[in-house]
Structure 1
């Protein structure tokens, strides 16, 4: 779990709720996180415009990359597709592409590329200025899906060119869309301010979707955490967390199967572990007010105001 107050990253025991510091405060925000198969935790640095890579066992910072070239930035969320890490920036209309080696080797700073969005207009000021946020591959793994928080538009994005095309979601409300998780062809979208989890059923290419259901809060713990190569979602079948816990206690299926290459590692705060999540797993960013020192997605307006004070920019 990450802190926007000082950048601390915590490890939570999902059975007891006890926490410990994995990596101490840096003095700058930490927002989205992603855990890969090599035990590395990628941490988005928000307004610092950077990304840290942390050993999830020792908490040691392995490397820090500077992604943004100026102060108008909010590095936010991650996904991996075709051996590349793609990173959203909620204030700058770009994707960052971080190539990983065949064995997952980390790149040199000079190898990181910035891909401008084409067809996605960034807009808004202050509280309404939060744009690209959650990101995940399409069901067929041939493109990316990116949700724009302030417009509620879901885009299918060409990972090579940055060309974004709105997905036909059949009128589903994705306003304040934030963290996303794809499992098979089912897309879970956390909507932070209305405190809802919206479920969409997509076609294979991710060009169309239909509304499945809404889950009411207290969902999260704002973003859906991920662990690469072991796919999953925070919730399934629009169940309450209590019902989900009862069902998954008896569920012996292999954990989190599907092509989305991610694993949820945090459940609703105070509600116990998410489906098939292991005790002691790293928790994802975002939490209700009664969970201390963590990222709350409802804190995005507060983050925007902080950015204005620091830079004088809207």
Structure 2
């Protein structure tokens, strides 16, 4: 593993990770889990990392994926220091990520149409599944529920169910039907979470900005009625805590917080989170009483020397 040391910066170019560095953010906050030691509320990522996804398990470590070469960075939330856990490979990307309780990390492979599983204990790759050979395709995000990891495809109206450890053996394709209308040449299905009982999924459609409840049994999608705002335009990553849904709206530099009524497929806007440190945040993950987001900086040059960071806000 390549460690990010406090006194050095990092550069990610293709598949090569040069000497890397990090300094913890100056703004600090409590951990939210009873630990009195302050934790950083922002931390730098390697230069040129091109971050997109983030996931956090029960332990205070964030896993972040790279669009530059599919690398995965592991950062200690207590210090803001990180290390390259998985080096990736040329021509690959790591978009959405989810960490399982067994230490396996499921990664959406973007335009490659793949789902990759790595072992966070070793950084080694377990397997890569080819979900689709359709062109265009963009495997964007993933959620774990039941015996499968479910992946969205932003360019095709279908979800893919990949077996989890000791689970089902086949990859299931679930076409989206019902209220779902696939739009051409734009990103459709993006972020995804499970409903509280795990029987259905909630999917955000980035364009024009809609929320759907999708049956895992039939693929039938029912569009949410929104109150308090007309849409969730530029909706990207989703986080659900109970019946509260957090929607990251990347190019709007905000997170909207919604109260869900799943019996009527209805969502009511409770509040909107903004922060001057937001710079096109794409996805979010929760730890303790904070939400951690990565700044993808899509409106900035996406170059080997471009700087990136992650920030946290109170839930």
1:114 to 150, 157, 173: 173
SS in 1 for 2:259: strand
TM-score normalised according to structure 1 size:
0.69
TM-score normalised according to structure 2 size:
0.68
SS in 2 for 1:91: coil
Taking structure 1 as reference, are residues 37 and 82 closer, same or farther at Cα in structure 2, changes over 3 Å only?
same
The separation in 2 between residues aligned to 1:294 and 1:4, in whole angstroms, is 14
The ranges of structure 1 where at least 4 consecutive aligned residues each deviate by more than 6 angstroms after the TM superposition are none
State the 1:139 CA deviation.
Answer: 3.1
Taking structure 1 as reference, are residues 16 and 206 closer, same or farther at Cα in structure 2, changes over 3 Å only?
farther
Q: Is the 8 A contact 2:100 2:144 kept in 1?
A: no
1:1-314 matched pairs, under 5 angstroms: 1-27=64-90, 28-100=92-164, 104-105=165-166, 108=169, 111-118=170-177, 119-125=179-185, 129-172=186-229, 173-205=231-263, 207-217=265-275, 218-219=277-278, 221-225=281-285, 233=286, 267-268=292-293, 287-288=296-297, 292=307
State the 1:113 CA deviation.
Answer: 1.4
Higher Rg: 2
The separation in 1 between residues aligned to 2:236 and 2:264, in whole angstroms, is 18
Q: Which runs of 5+ in 2 are unaligned?
A: 1-63, 311-315
Q: Which runs of 5+ in 1 are unaligned?
A: 226-232, 237-243, 245-263, 270-285, 296-314
Query: Whose RCO is larger (CA < 8 A, sep 6+)?
Result: 1
Aligned CA RMSD, in angstroms, stands at 2.5
Structure ranking higher in helix proportion:
1
How many residue pairs get aligned? The number is 236
State the 1:154 CA deviation.
Answer: 0.3
State the 1:171 CA deviation.
Answer: 4.6
Structure ranking higher in strand proportion:
2
